[in-house]
Amino acid sequence: MNELNLSTYFPSPIYSGYIPEWVEPLNKASDQYITFAANKNKEFIKERQEFLGKKIGDFGITHHSVTLLPDLNFREFKKYTLDQSIKVLDEMGYDLRNYRLKFTELWVQEFPIKGGGHHEGHVHYNTHLSGFYFLKCSNKTSYPIFKDPRVAKHMSQLPLKTDSEMTTGTELVHFMPQPGSFVIFPSFLEHEFKLDAGIEPFRFIHFNVQAESIDT
């Protein structure tokens, strides 16, 4: 009896790299944005503590910046990200001859020092690629978890033989970053961030990139 041939269709690529030389300058450039976001959250924190009758600080509140797009300190980062986005979409098989790439969003965020920072599972609509660049993290902080986008598969999931290696049955990918880790992936790929314990700082840049028709 002949053996069957394996063909793998509908892959969900996750591209990653390591760029440590940007950690120090981009941390410095993003400090003002995190400080501004934290100050903006102070009134809400005060009102919440008065309502609860207990001091819990910024527990569970993510400090989310305004857009970084106009800031020239991120110019090299933006160029690299768009260059890599072109390569990723090209490798995914898309014809970009009549398209140009642009950022729809670029921001930095930091999880609270009191802990509780996290993001529920979500996707990014109306964009083609999303990604992160990690500025502050360790094995004691949060990290992204990617989810299998094949929704119908969850109805009949079987136990896996092992969680130590990737198979076509794998449903979750735990990506453990270090400062300088760069990640880019299709925006349709659902992801979440593990609950942060507040032991060490956790800061990262987040971006969305869209391919826009030149005719529009």
* pLDDT digit string, tens, across residues 72-82: 999 999 999 99
Kindly state the average pLDDT of the residues 191-201: 92
pLDDT at position 216? 61
| Residue-by-residue DSSP string for 151-194 | GGGGGGPPPPS-SSS--TT--EEE----TTEEEEEETTS-EEEP
15-50+59-155+170-213: CATH class:
mainly beta
Average pLDDT, the chain: 90
pLDDT of 49 > 80? The answer is: no
Residue (of 3, 156, 135) closest to 68 by Cα position: 135
Residue 128: pLDDT band (50, 70, 90) is very high
CA distance 192 to 178: 17
pLDDT at 58 over 70: no
Extents of the domains making up the chain: 15-50+59-155+170-213
Q: What is the pTM of this model?
A: 0.91
Percent of the chain with pLDDT over 90: 65
Give the tens place of pLDDT for each residue, 2-30. 899 988 888 899 999 999 999 999 999 99
Average confidence (pLDDT) over 97-103 = 96
Amino acid present at 15:
Y
- In this prediction, residue 188 carries a pLDDT of 95
Confidence of residue 103 (pLDDT cuts 50, 70, 90): very high
Q: State the Cα–Cα distance between residues 79 and 207, nearest whole angstrom.
A: 13
Whether the CB-CB separation of 77 and 173 falls below 8 Å is answered with no
Give the H/E segment covering residue 89: helix 75-91
pLDDT (average), residues 208-214: 96
